[in-house]
Amino acid sequence: MLQREVEASDTLGSHKNIVEILAHGEFSVEYYYIDMELCDFDLHCFLYTTAAEDVMNSQGSRQKDDKIWHIVEDVSCGVAYIHSQDCIHRDLKPHNSIIDK
* Whole-number Cα distances in Å, 42 to 11, 25, 28, 52, 91: 24, 24, 28, 10, 14
Does the global pTM surpass 0.75? Answer: no
- The total number of structural domains in the chain stands at 1
Q: What is the pLDDT of residues 12-64, one digit of tens each?
A: 777 888 888 888 888 877 888 888 888 888 888 877 776 566 666 665 555 66
Give me the phi and psi of 58, to 5 degrees please. Answer: -75, -10
Range of the domain at 29: 2-99
Parallel/antiparallel/unpaired status of strands 98-99 and 41-42: antiparallel
Give me the phi and psi of 98, to 5 degrees please. Answer: -95, 135
